[in-house]
Amino acid sequence: MLGRLRRCALLVALATAVAAGGKIATRRFLFPAQDLRPLPRPRGFVEHQLVAYDGVEVRALELAADLGARVVVHFHTNRETAEGLADLARRLHAGNLGVVLVEYRGYGRSRGTPTENGVYADAEAVLDMLAARGIGRDRIVLSGASLGTGVAAEMARRGRGAKLVLVTPYTSIPAVIEDAAPFVPASLFVEDRFDTLAKAPAIDVPTLVVHGDADEIVPFWMGEELAHRIRGAVLRRVHGGRHGDLFARDPALVDAIAEHARS
C-alpha cells in the first residue's frame, strides 16, 4: 500500500510538472541528471570518451573481456551514473564477461541533454566503438535496468546484440504513468515514450526478464507482459522484490545474468 502511494505521488508530481512546464519539465522528471552528485572514478576501469553521431560527447567505463568472451553493455536507470554500477560490473566481470557501462548524455561526465533519441545515439556510439575493435553483435549482451531497459530493447530491435537482459522493465513510459494515475493522459504529452511493448515482436534474441512482484514503481505485470511478447523470453520473478532491491533480495541474480550472457 505504501509503495502504491509513493508511486502515485511520484507520478502526480510528474503531471504537475507537465502542467507547469510542458515537455521540458517532463524531461527533467524523467531524466533527473541534474540531481545526481558526481562519484569518484572507480579503479580498474578504462574510461572512453566518445562522440555520438549528433556531435555530443558521451562517456563509458569498461572492464575488458578476455579474448573471445562476451561483453555486457549495460544501460543504467534514470537515477544512476556509470560509477554507481562499478560493483555490479566487477561481479559480472568475475564471471568471465567483459562489461561496458554506458553513461547517457547529461549524466555524470557526459555532455549534452538527455532525450530518448539522444540516449539511443549514445548507445550506438558505444556499440560502434566495440565493433571497430572487432567485438561484433555475436559477442554483445545488451543489458538495461529500469529506464535503461528501453535503450537495451531498442538496440536489440536494431540487431546490435546477441542476448538481452531486462531488469524491472516497463511496457512504455506513458503506460507506467497511466497505470498509477489513470486521470493523467500521459500518452498525449510524453514525448520520450520508450515503447518497448510495441518493439517486442521485433526482438529476436534470447532474453532474460527480471522483475520483482512487489515493484512499487513499474508494476510486475509489465515485466510479465514483455516476457510473453518477446519470443522465447524467460521471466525470473523475484518474490517480494521492489524496484531497487532485486540484487539484494535475490543473491543468485548476478550469477543468473552471467549464465544467460555466457550461454
Segment-wise mean pLDDT, segments of 10 residues, the chain, 263 residues = 52 55 66 81 95 97 95 97 96 98 95 96 99 97 99 99 99 90 78 97 98 97 99 98 97 98 97
The question of whether 250 is a catalytic residue gets the answer no
Long-range contacts of 45-50 (CB under 8 A, 24+ apart): 45/86, 45/89, 45/101, 48/126, 48/129, 50/122, 50/125, 50/126, 50/129
User: Cβ contacts of residue 188 below 8 Å, gap of 6+?
Assistant: none
Residue type (1 letter), 88? L
Selecting among 195, 215, 250, 260, the annotated active-site residue is 215
Residue with cell 544467460: 260
**91, 92, 100, 96: which is closest to 66 by C-alpha?**
96
Q: Return the SS3 of 124.
A: helix
Residue type (1 letter), 255? D
Distance in Å from the first CA to the final CA of the chain: 39
Selecting among 74, 110, 143, 146, the annotated active-site residue is 146
How many structural domains comprise the chain?
Answer: 1
Give the pLDDT of residue 222: 99
3-state helix, strand, coil in the chain (%, to 5): 45, 15, 40
Query: For position 208, which CATH number holds?
Result: 3.40.50.1820
Q: Return the SS3 of 216.
A: coil
The question of whether 93 is a catalytic residue gets the answer no
The question of whether 243 is a catalytic residue gets the answer yes
Residue pair 146/140 in contact by the 8 Å Cβ criterion = no
**236, 232, 216, 214: which is closest to 224 by C-alpha?**
236
Helical pair 220-229 and 173-180, crossing angle rounded to 10 deg: 140
The partner residues of 237 in beta bridges, in order of sequence, read: 211
Give the pLDDT of residue 10: 59
Q: Residue 210: left (phi > 0), alpha (psi -120 to 50), or beta?
A: beta
User: Cβ contacts of residue 129 below 8 Å, gap of 6+?
Assistant: 48, 50, 60
The partner residues of 140 in beta bridges, in order of sequence, read: 71
Residue pair 209/190 in contact by the 8 Å Cβ criterion = no
DSSP state of 183: T
Residue type (1 letter), 115? T
Domain membership of residue 209 as a residue range: 2-33+42-262
CA separation for the pair 240, 201 (Å, rounded): 29
What radius of gyration do the chain's Cα atoms show?
Answer: 17
Give the pLDDT of residue 19: 47
